[in-house]
Structure 1
Amino acid sequence: MSADDRQSELAREHKERQAQRAAEQSAKSRRNTFIGAGLAVVVVAGGIYAATTLVNRDSSSPVAAESSPSPSPSASASVLGELEPSATPTKTGPVSCTYKRDTSDVPMKYVGMPGAKPNMRLKTMTIATNHGNIVIDVDPAVTPCSVNSMAFLAKKNFYNNTKCHRLVTPEVSGLFLLQCGDPKAKADGKNPTDGQGTAGYVFRDEAVGAVPYTRGVVFLTQPQDAAGQNSSQFAISLSDENAQIEPQFSVLGMVRSGLEIIEKVAKDGVIVNDDDITGDGGSTAPKNPIIIKQVTLR
């Protein structure tokens, strides 16, 4: 079988799996929409597509943020992975990041705003959890303002003792990922504002579409139809099937080690929040809580 034939066969099998999954979800007579300041996944007859939605957020007055100029290196040559990028930064020159206050009416924990000049020497982000460490390779040459924001919040102990509020599993949504970074999340499957919390500031998108959101990719999350509203929340992809997600999220890095920690927790199941599934708020949390003890960048 030629490489082209094999590729066509894989594509056909992928479409068949999507159709089967959609049929199964339809039989359950429910619309699987996951809402929050992160990923909202909708299972439809033609397959699975992704969007972001923020419950009770006024989308008519989006908060803008920017950084200028953007860096020039290609993501394919960085620690973000060896995948061929579909979109890379194009401008050159010194990087200056701009962060703006989030004026929306959502839960937030404000500890100040990062400085304009990012540390371009940072290489790793370690998330210490109650289950062990998750180590992520980052590259400020590709996403300087995203890495700068994470480093600032980490130094401020912003993430200490916060709970990862959403665990999306294939059985529930067709995708597989963990979402964290809401400072006010209770992760109990009941709190209607889980997934809405921010750090009280926002900033522009970076490296959107640089790599597919396959297993190990870490990306920032923001509201539906939004741009430049990244804040403290992020998601960790646990499956290559997530490559279907439409490119719209800033890529933060690639997991070097620790995915097995999340996968083990996923085996314990999730608290299925009906409000989350129908798109009214809250989140589907892991039954076995994942608590972030500390985040460090070096």
Structure 2
Amino acid sequence: MSGDDDRKNELAREHKERQEKRAAEQTAKGRRNTFIGAGVAVVVVAGGIFAATTLVNKDGSEAASAASTPSASASSPAPTTLPSTTPPKKPGDVTCTYKRDDSVPNKFVGLPGKKPNLKLSTMTVSTNHGDIVIEVDANATPCSVNSMAFLAKKRFYDNTKCHRLVTPETAGLFLLQCGDPQAKADGKNPTDGQGTAGYVFGDEAAGTIPYTRGVVFLTQPAEAAGQNSSQFAISLSDENSQLDPQYSVLGMVKSGLEIIEKVAKDGVLVNPDDITGDGGSTAPKNPIIIKSVTVK
């Protein structure tokens, strides 16, 4: 048996042990993003997404085992488009509710306004590797886009590190998770993936489209609803369509996916001390640092 096979088997065994321990010790609410981890958690089998969040499949099982790799689909998913509603919403018809939440580590910069700007269409995440440009749909997810625009203006994301890079080799999925303002992304910090903006808000357009390559969605703890905050994930594979449809869709990447894919080739830092117990922090070895976010 090769060294790679031995390592995969070891990861699978450790993953199973963590699952059993977690099932015995936790309540359904016990692993709050505690983030996504979006808390976005996605966070994944290798779980801890948004705070620490474990992404789950549509049948309720965990997304993948540590030793699994994505398999080719019989047919490729249909091209994904944003879930814009019809007819367009009127500004006066939309009111957003954001609730202060200080139960997990956070960086509170205030609460977004209740009335969203439905004309916002583009979110640009400027990183140390280049820009990731995302098409957002304020008509479909007005409160989600409104939250991102607010945090961007408050410079909430400036100089933060994307704390989680989930790869097929580590979790059977392929995505990047960002938005924990306190993440160190060093493979050592036990609380990476827990940080939020200190408030939560309800789900929008969850499950309206599969989380295929290029889809950007908010993350929140597994088995939770209405716990969206600052964390978000960028899907890098059509295989992610297997995820449970519980995450609010924020938008679609127009350009910049190749930036993340290039970084992914350098591998990840597996954090053995992650308190989520399931790989909530598998940070990219080549750090992805958000310099700024703009929404317009």
Instruction: Answer yes or no: is the 8 Å Cα contact 1:276–1:284 preserved in 2.
Output: no
Give the residue type in structure 1 aligned to 2:241: A
**Residues 133, 243 of structure 1: alpha-carbon distance in 2 compared, 3 angstrom cutoff:** same
Whichever of the two has the greater Rg, that structure is: 1
Give, in whole Å, the separation in 2 of the partners of 1:286 and 1:51: 15
Give the residue type in structure 1 aligned to 2:99: K
Aligned to 1:263: 261
Give, in whole Å, the separation in 2 of the partners of 1:127 and 1:169: 21
Give, in whole Å, the separation in 1 of the partners of 2:124 and 2:144: 15
Aligned to 2:95: 96
Aligned pairs for 1:98-117 within 5 A: 98-104=97-103, 106-117=104-115
Give, in whole Å, the separation in 2 of the partners of 1:277 and 1:214: 29
Give, in whole Å, the separation in 2 of the partners of 1:225 and 1:167: 22
Give, in whole Å, the separation in 2 of the partners of 1:122 and 1:53: 24
Give the residue type in structure 2 aligned to 1:283: S
Instruction: Return the match for 2:42 from 39, 42, 50.
Output: 39
User: Which deviations, in whole Å up to 9, do the C-alpha atoms of 1:161-219 show, x marking residues without a partner?
Assistant: 00000000001110000000000000001111100001011100000011100000000
Instruction: Answer yes or no: is the 8 Å Cα contact 2:180–2:192 preserved in 1.
Output: yes
Aligned pairs for 1:132-211 within 5 A: 132-211=130-209
**Residues 107, 215 of structure 1: alpha-carbon distance in 2 compared, 3 angstrom cutoff:** same
The structure that is strand-richer by fraction is 1
Give, in whole Å, the separation in 1 of the partners of 2:133 and 2:156: 18
Structure 2's unaligned 5+ residue stretches are: 20-32, 54-78
Aligned-partner SS, 2:14: coil
Aligned pairs for 1:210-249 within 5 A: 210-249=208-247
Q: How many residues align?
A: 244
Aligned-partner SS, 1:151: helix
User: Under a length normalisation based on structure 1, what TM-score does the superposition of the two structures give?
Assistant: 0.74
Give the residue type in structure 1 aligned to 2:286: N
Deviation at 1:41, TM superposition (A): 2.9
Give the residue type in structure 2 aligned to 1:194: D
Deviation at 1:275, TM superposition (A): 3.6
User: Which deviations, in whole Å up to 9, do the C-alpha atoms of 1:125-147 show, x marking residues without a partner?
Assistant: 00000000000000110000000
Aligned-partner SS, 1:171: helix
Aligned-partner SS, 1:185: coil
User: Under a length normalisation based on structure 2, what TM-score does the superposition of the two structures give?
Assistant: 0.75
Deviation at 1:272, TM superposition (A): 1.2
Give the residue type in structure 2 aligned to 1:42: V
- Identity in percent: 70
Instruction: Answer yes or no: is the 8 Å Cα contact 2:197–2:229 preserved in 1.
Output: yes
